[in-house]
């Protein structure tokens, strides 16, 4: 049996205190840490060692972290580059993405989230021990469960532990627990236990919408459910990606998760056929977008779009180049025009009526 390789990370920053702090923290997590204060030192290390992750400061004296990251990725294609900065901007984040950086974060990001992103980068570049040279490497699926049945949760954890493409982040007992915990990890999918969380169809739809507010781009799977075919079709129409029966074995659950990860839907053919039937109410809601736009100004629509994405007022201000006070003024006007009295209600109305 081959010995497990210790992941390596190269930290590039012109402040020695930052290098020392990261080295101390990451070595405790079992990483082999190299540090460099400039591009010359960094490239010298790259010639000698195989580096899995490069954590690069945006501003390195007169040097540009974006340019250094590009050089590193060209010379070592397997190295995942993460850009971090004390001068965050929306433009820099976009540019980092265009240049192939794995992730972009602020220096004020919590140590916990930094560690999570580093582990995610390591997993994305790790094979499962099989020969994948003739296949395109699949991305890891990060998911949470919302369930109070310990046996179900333990089964899901076991599946995640045995498949490198699956990463079970955490289990929650309710939506309220997610909110109170301050959980912010980027999450691809949520497995929601119907018998624990839902109480009737109306509550199911409301809860699913609440999940979308917390995680705008998440995929939702409903487990341990007892919905009718018509109800399942309705849930598919609002974005649910699949239904897991309580009697599904581990291999079937694993297969279904990977199908959904790759853009598929896990449901019986009868349900899919019902879901694709024409829906007049949906057509009406789309038309309402044009017939009744509540006279929102262009700037108010921009603010509403960012609200739907779950972005905070301060970050909205940064993105739109306006003050936080102006953001609050726009939000108050949006509330009045939509006839709502809270952020959640505004977001739900925007989603229900396709306003953005």
How do residues 282-321 score in pLDDT, each as one tens digit? 444 444 444 456 788 888 888 888 888 778 888 888 878 7
Residues 228-250: what's their mean pLDDT? 87
**What one-character-per-residue DSSP string does 94-117 give?**
HHHHHTT-SEEEETTS-HHHHHHH
How do residues 120-148 score in pLDDT, each as one tens digit? 888 876 533 333 333 334 456 789 999 99
Query: What is the per-residue pLDDT for 72?
Result: 92
Q: In CATH, which of 3.30.70.270, 3.10.580.10, 3.40.50.2300, 3.40.50.150 is domain 141-275?
A: 3.40.50.2300
Rounded CA-CA distance 82/66 in Å is 10
Using an 8 Å Cβ cutoff, are 241 and 265 in contact?
yes
Higher pLDDT, 29 or 323: 323
Residues 216-233: what's their mean pLDDT? 87
Residue 183 has pLDDT above 90, yes or no: no
Question: Are the folds of 8-124 and 280-352 the same?
Answer: no
Query: What is the per-residue pLDDT for 241?
Result: 92
Neighbours of 155 (CB within 10 A): 15
How do residues 245-276 score in pLDDT, each as one tens digit? 877 888 888 888 888 887 888 988 888 888 87
Residue 218 has pLDDT above 80, yes or no: yes
The percent of residues above 90 in pLDDT, for the chain, comes to 21
Domain boundary assignment for the chain: 8-124, 141-275, 280-352
- Tokens standing for residue 161: 């532990």
Measured CA to CA in angstroms, residue 126 lies from 7, 72, 185, 199, 264 at distances of 10, 19, 21, 41, 24
Task: Point out the least confidently predicted range of 18-32, 193-207, 291-305.
Answer: 291-305
Query: What is the per-residue pLDDT for 75?
Result: 87
Higher pLDDT, 277 or 253: 253
Alpha helices in the chain (DSSP H): 16-28, 39-48, 65-75, 90-98, 111-124, 150-162, 175-181, 194-197, 201-214, 229-237, 250-261, 269-275, 280-291, 298-308, 313-320, 324-338, 343-352
Residue 184 has pLDDT above 80, yes or no: no
Note the pTM of the prediction, 2 decimals: 0.45
- Burial class of 228 by CB neighbour count within 10 A (0 to 12, 13 to 18, 19+): exposed
Rounded CA-CA distance 224/214 in Å is 23
Angle made by CA atoms 340, 341, 343, in degrees to the nearest 5: 90
- Cα-flanking dihedrals φ and ψ of residue 185, to 5°? -60, 135
Domain 280-352 indexed as CATH 1.10.10.10: yes
Domain 8-124 indexed as CATH 3.40.50.2300: yes
């Amino acid at each position: 049996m081959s010995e497990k390789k210790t992941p390596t990370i190269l930290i590039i920053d012109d402040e020695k205190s930052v290098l020392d702090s990261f080295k101390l923290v990451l070595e405790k997590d079992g990483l082999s840490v190299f540090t460099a204060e400039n591009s010359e030192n960094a490239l010298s290390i790259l010639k000698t060692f195989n580096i899995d992750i490069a954590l690069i400061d945006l501003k390195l004296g007169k040097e540009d972290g974006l340019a250094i990251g590009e050089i590193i990725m060209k010379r070592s294609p397997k190295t995942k580059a993460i850009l971090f900065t004390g001068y965050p901007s929306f433009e820099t984040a976009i540019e980092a993405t265009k240049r192939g950086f794995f992730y972009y974060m602020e220096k004020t990001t919590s140590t916990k989230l930094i560690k999570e992103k580093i582990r995610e980068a390591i997993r994305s570049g790790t094979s499962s021990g099989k020969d994948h040279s003739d296949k395109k490497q699949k991305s890891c699926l990060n998911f949470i469960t919302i369930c109070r049945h310990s046996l179900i949760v333990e089964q899901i954890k076991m599946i995640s532990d045995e498949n490198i493409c699956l990463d079970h982040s955490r289990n929650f007992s309710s939506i309220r627990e997610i909110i109170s915990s301050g959980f912010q990890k980027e999450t691809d999918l949520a497995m929601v236990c119907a018998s624990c969380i839902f109480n009737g169809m109306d509550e199911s739809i409301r809860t699913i919408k609440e999940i979308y507010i917390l995680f705008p781009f998440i995929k939702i799977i409903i487990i341990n459910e007892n919905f009718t075919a018509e109800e399942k079709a309705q849930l598919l129409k609002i974005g649910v990606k699949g239904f897991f029966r309580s009697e599904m074995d581990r291999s079937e659950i694993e297969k279904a998760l990977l199908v959904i990860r790759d853009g598929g839907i896990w449901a019986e053919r009868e349900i899919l056929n019902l879901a694709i039937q024409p829906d007049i109410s949906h057509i009406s809601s789309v038309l309402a977008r044009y017939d009744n736009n509540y006279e929102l100004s262009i700037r108010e629509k921009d603010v509403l779009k960012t609200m739907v994405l779950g972005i905070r007022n301060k970050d909205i201000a940064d993105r739109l180049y306006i003050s936080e006070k102006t953001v609050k003024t726009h939000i108050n006007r949006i509330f009045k025009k939509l006839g709502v009295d809270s952020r959640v209600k505004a977001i739900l109305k925007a989603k229900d009526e396709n306003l953005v």
